[in-house]
Amino acid sequence: MNYRFPVVLLFTALLVAPGCSSEPAEEPAAEAAHQEPAEVTEAKEFDPAALKARIDAGENVYLLDVRRPEELIEHGAIEGYVNIPIDELEGRVSEIPKDRKVVVYCMRGGRAGRGAELLAKNGHTGLEFGGITEWKEAGLPVVQPEGSK
């Protein structure tokens, strides 16, 4: 019996099948953003402990969380955040101050990188980006959105 065709078919299916994840299903664009941070020329990835120290020292940082509201409820947010989901950011870019350092974050940094790139193209400087996952892994605190449990 020739097993070559089923093996090739199985291998092809494994290459194109979506990966298993404990994360909730997302739209294709958001899912792709979780793979690798977008290339950002005018921003740098933030160091969670250093960012926390700057915030504690009173630095006036604008914390932009670009996740969907349900993600904030599930995973928490950095205290002082403003939530503008990545899908809405282009239409709301004028809400982001240009006179403050802006730290854009999401779960792992992919959408945040895209958000920082968009802000850089619109004249923002001093941009940083990253993910709440790394923040939490560093043992740093999160808050729950107002009105959530």
Question: Mind telling me the catalytic residues?
Answer: 106
Coil vs helix vs strand at 74: helix
How far, in Å, CA of 149 to CA of 70, rounded?
Answer: 12
List Cβ neighbours of 89 (8 Å cut-off, separation of 6 or more).
66, 115, 118
Write the secondary structure of 91-148 as one string of H (helix), E (strand) and C (coil). HHHHHCCCCCEEEEEECCCHHHHHHHHHHHHCCCCCEEEEEHHHHHHCCCCCECCCCC
- Please name which of 149, 110, 117 lies closest in space to residue 133, comparing C-alpha atoms: 110
